[in-house]
Amino acid sequence: RFEIALARSAMTLQVPAGTSILEVLRANGVDMPSSCEQGACGTCLAGVLDGAPDHQDVYLSQAEKAAGDRIMTCVSRARSGRLVLDL
């Protein structure tokens, strides 16, 4: 379980185990596009302003993953207790 803070929407949401960031966003009325929902297509990308993503996708390159400034919301999670997203 971790927390996501949406910088532009001024919302803080909890992401329970077994639920994706994408599912939590949609459940709270945040309209986020998606396609594959398996971490492969890049459609559900969000910018990361703070916190450490736990990348589970196969879309971002190793360098992009290391940079930690974007996340695929359908599969990836957080290593830190909180992620601040550019949403």
CA distance 28 to 86: 16
Place of tokens 């916190």: 51
> What is the Cα 5 distance to its own chain's centre?
10
Q: Nearest to residue 73, comparing CAs of 6, 28, 9, 20?
A: 20
For residues 9 to 48, the per-residue mask of contacts with ligand FES, x marking binding by CB under 6 A and - elsewhere, is -------------------------xxxx-xxxxxx----
**From residue 45 to residue 84, what is the string marking binding to ligand FES with x (rule CB under 6 A)?**
------------x-x------------x-x----------
C-beta closer to ligand FES: residue 6 or 72: 72
